[in-house]
């Protein structure tokens, strides 16, 4: 068997990407106030800002688009998608939403109240925001291994069951349900094991608490289970996913991830306890329950995408791609979060810029350097994103300085990854010339999206 793992698709439609010169990129980045969020996408060669809604649809999905039934109520497209979702999840009740955060908002509005507490391995930022908005405490209880970037562990997304039990004991009356996120996006796209999901579900049941899974990357998580968890080697991805869902009472989904579409999301629930409240909240903000926030054609594309996302050849290629870049980084002596996760590789900026003071935002500086060197756009996950400027003018800093390179699905080929590895290598070779930045203008919240920067002299 040849060792090279090829993309399990061929290309039917292409979209040119634009090469720019270094001089142009210097100018473009200056115009963007040294903030890659403000670049125009057409000025980026390889866009690894996010894997969310950025992937390529298949010819079957584009074909399905034409089948969309745009009826307001009772559209054929709804029933087609409902059948697919019931088959994959085993859950009876399904409502579409326009994306994942809308599913969260609708479910939490229907089920949570001020003063509640929700445990999770790590809440994704929109999940946390939607809970906190209602006045719910969002508690992250990932295992300690999940917080150590260079430590290798097969399931760094697992939840710490002892700590879950402790909060169930002390705060049961405040807990409307327990949650877990697969894969753990905030924790580096790291998977959760079946054993952990099963034990967590059992624990919640003992305390009479429902179990909700954030299933944005359920297919990637299932593939990790197949590759890493004894006993699942011969199970199909659909079987593994079905077992994961069998332990849950409900799930929220951003279809922009393993749904393989550019926009969409949904809620599924096993029984109808919460359904009246969910439907009412849905109608208020998303739409009638047979379309939620989605067009009929998008429901069709999702029905196809969910099935394609479970394809083992695709998933093997997907996870291998991140691992492949990781191997190249390892050989070049560049640190990253290990092992590589499902959808992204997280560079440890400290290993490229060990002497840059944190006040000069080394991960932001590395992010800028990747663009200047090779037109690659990643995202800083460091002290710009998670630090704060306090009222007295001083700053708080994040414990890690990472640059996330997140990979759109079915979009970039192996040669793009080879190119990126070369660019990263080159950046490391020129590290002494990389300049830090200072913030010259920033909003009070979520400053990384819109802040203006200048070079440190």
Ligand X SMILES: *Cc1c(COP(=O)(O)O)cnc(C)c1O
Closest C-alpha to 222, from 238, 199, 205, 206: 238
Residue 374 φ then ψ, to 5°:
-145, 15
Gap between the Cα atoms of 291 and 269, Å rounded: 17
What DSSP assignment string belongs to 321-351? HHHHHHHHHHHHT--B-SS--SSEEEEEGGG
Shortest reach from residue 343's CB to ligand X, in Å: 8
Total binding residues toward ligand X, as defined by CB under 6 A: 15
Gap between the Cα atoms of 184 and 193, Å rounded: 11
N- to C-terminal Cα separation, the chain:
54
Q: Which of 256, 270, 318, 350 binds ligand X (CB under 6 A)?
A: 256
Nearer to ligand X, 105 or 428 (CB): 105
Nearer to ligand X, 101 or 226 (CB): 101
Q: Which of 48, 108, 124, 245 binds ligand X (CB under 6 A)?
A: 124
Contact between 254 and ligand X per CB under 6 A: yes
Q: Which of residues 197-236 bind ligand X (CB under 6 A)?
A: 214, 216
Q: Which of 25, 80, 93, 101 binds ligand X (CB under 6 A)?
A: 101
Nearer to ligand X, 99 or 368 (CB): 99
- Binding pattern to ligand X, positions 51-80, x when CB under 6 A? -x----------------------------
Gap between the Cα atoms of 82 and 337, Å rounded: 37
Q: Which of 58, 111, 121, 181 binds ligand X (CB under 6 A)?
A: 181
Contact between 97 and ligand X per CB under 6 A: no
Nearer to ligand X, 68 or 265 (CB): 265
- Binding pattern to ligand X, positions 3-42, x when CB under 6 A? ----------------------------------------
How far is residue 442 from each of residues 8, 32, 452, measured CA to CA in Å?
44, 14, 7
> Beta 211-214 vs 178-181: how paired, if at all?
parallel
Q: Which of residues 301-320 bind ligand X (CB under 6 A)?
A: none
The burial of 326, by beta-carbon neighbours within 10 Å (0-12 exposed, 13-18 middle, 19 or more buried), is given as buried
Which residue is listed with tokens 């580096």?
188
CB neighbour list of residue 239: distance below 8 Å, 6 or more residues apart: none
Contact between 265 and ligand X per CB under 6 A: yes
Contact 120, 213 (CB under 8 A): no
Part in contact with ligand X (CB under 6 A); list of ranges 250-258, 271-279, 346-354, 434-442: 250-258
Nearer to ligand X, 20 or 262 (CB): 262
Q: Which of 127, 193, 340, 383 binds ligand X (CB under 6 A)?
A: 127
The burial of 222, by beta-carbon neighbours within 10 Å (0-12 exposed, 13-18 middle, 19 or more buried), is given as buried
Which residue ranges make up the site for ligand X (CB under 6 A)? 52, 99-101, 124, 126-127, 181, 185, 214, 216, 254, 256-257, 265
């Amino acid at each position: 068997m040849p060792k090279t793992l090829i993309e399990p698709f061929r290309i039917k439609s292409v979209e040119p990407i634009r090469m720019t010169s270094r001089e142009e990129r210097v100018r473009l980045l200056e115009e963007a106030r040294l903030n890659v969020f403000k670049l125009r996408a057409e000025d980026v060669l390889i866009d690894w800002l996010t894997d969310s809604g950025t992937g390529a649809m298949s010819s079957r999905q584009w074909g399905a688009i034409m089948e969309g039934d745009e009826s307001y109520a009772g559209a054929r497209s709804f029933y087609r998608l409902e059948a697919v979702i019931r088959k994959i999840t085993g859950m009876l009740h399904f409502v579409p939403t326009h994306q994942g955060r809308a599913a969260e908002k609708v479910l939490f509005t229907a089920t949570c109240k001020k003063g509640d507490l929700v445990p999770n391995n790590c809440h994704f930022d929109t999940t946390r925001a939607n809970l906190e908005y209602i006045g719910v405490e969002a508690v992250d209880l990932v295992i300690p291994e999940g917080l150590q970037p260079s430590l290798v562990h097969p399931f760094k997304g697992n939840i710490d069951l002892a700590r879950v039990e402790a909060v169930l004991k002390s705060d049961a009356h405040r807990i409307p349900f327990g949650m877990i996120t697969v894969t753990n996006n905030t924790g580096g796209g790291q998977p959760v094991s079946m054993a952990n999901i099963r034990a967590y579900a059992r624990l919640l049941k003992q305390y009479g608490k429902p179990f909700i899974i954030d299933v944005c990357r359920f297919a990637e998580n299932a593939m990790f289970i197949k590759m890493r968890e004894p006993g699942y080697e011969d199970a199909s991805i659909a079987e593994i996913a079905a077992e994961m869902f069998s332990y849950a009472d409900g799930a929220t989904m951003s279809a922009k991830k393993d749904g393989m579409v550019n926009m969409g999301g949904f809620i599924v629930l096993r029984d109808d306890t919460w359904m009246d409240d969910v439907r009412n909240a849905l109608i208020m903000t998303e739409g009638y329950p047979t379309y939620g926030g989605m067009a009929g054609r998008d429901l069709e594309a999702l029905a196809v995408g969910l099935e394609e996302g479970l394809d083992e050849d695709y998933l093997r290629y997907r996870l291998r791609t991140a691992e492949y870049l990781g191997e190249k980084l390892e050989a070049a002596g560049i640190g990253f979060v290990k092992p590589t996760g499902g959808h992204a590789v997280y560079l440890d900026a400290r290993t490229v810029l060990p002497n840059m003071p944190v006040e000069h935002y080394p991960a932001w500086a590395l992010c800028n350097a990747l663009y200047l060197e090779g037109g690659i756009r990643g995202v800083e996950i460091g002290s710009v994103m998670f630090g704060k400027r306090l009222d007295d003018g001083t700053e708080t800093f994040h414990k890690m300085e990472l640059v996330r390179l997140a990979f759109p699905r079915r979009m970039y080929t192996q040669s793009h990854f080879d190119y990126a590895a070369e660019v990263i290598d080159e950046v490391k070779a020129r590290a002494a010339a990389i300049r830090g930045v200072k913030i010259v203008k920033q909003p009070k919240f979520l400053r990384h999206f819109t802040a203006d920067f200048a070079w440190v002299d």
